[in-house]
Every structure is written in C-alpha cells, then in structure tokens.
Amino acid sequence: MKDIITINTYTYKDVLIISINEEDIEAFYKLFTSKNSSFISRNGISLQIIQSEESKIVIKDSNIIVFMSLTQFDIIVSLLQNYIKSNRKFPLDISLEQLDFLIESNEIKDVVLECGQFNDD
C-alpha cells in the first residue's frame, strides 16, 4: 500500500506555496530524497521533483515541475533533516527563489516549501 502524503498548494500574492502537513513531513522527506518524486496536492496540482544540471521551476496549468541541481538538492535535504530533528516549534519555510532557482512564470515570483506550523507546546 502506498503512503498518502497530503500537500496543499496555494498562492499568496505572487508566491506559490507548497504546504506539507506536520504529520507527513517525514514521509515527504523520504520520497523527496529519492531525487525524482511526484506528488498530487488536494486541489489537483501535480508536483514533480527532478534532478537536473540546473535549478529551475516550470509552472504550466496544474503542473509544477522542479528541476534541481545536486547542490540545491543537498541544501534542501539538510534543511529538512534539521527540521525533522528539531522540536518543530516553528514552521520551516524554504524559498526556492532565495536558493537561486529560476522561476519560469510571469505571475509567480517565488515558490516556497512550507513545512509544519507554529506549535505552542
């Protein structure tokens, strides 16, 4: 049986947010580290992660394709590992634009991986 991973995608102004629920972060990490992964969000958006020479994001219709170099892949893996090992009091937001991804879209200026939520415990 395949693991179900809940991701949500939505836009805020000119930022596309890919949100991973707290309880799915470890499963997302496991699939993400396979380097070539595919996810479907609750609202039908398809997310593909593909290892590539260059890091860029292509957004077409209901598809988000993230091509990432090994360097950017390693950075994101490290951030996710540190978050998983932490007490997760604060969410982790990873801006792909700040990691020098080229975003091929006229409307979207950044794509953010949003992991978890604020935890007051």
Superfamily assignment of 7-115 in CATH?
Answer: Domain of unknown function (DUF3480), N-terminal subdomain (3.30.1360.220)
- pLDDT exceeds cutoff 50 at 1: no
- pLDDT exceeds cutoff 80 at 98: yes
Q: Note the pLDDT tens digit of each residue in 9-58.
A: 899 999 999 999 888 888 889 888 886 778 877 778 888 889 999 999 99
Task: Please give the distance of CA 119 from its chain centroid, rounded to a whole number.
Answer: 20
* Distance of alpha carbon 115 from alpha carbon 84, whole angstroms: 10
CB 108, CB 98: distance < 8 Å = no
Q: What is the residue-averaged pLDDT of the chain?
A: 87
In order of 71, 96, 117, 120, the CA distances from 67 in angstroms are 12, 11, 26, 35
Pull the structure tokens for residue 113.
């991986």
Residues of the chain above pLDDT 90, percent:
53
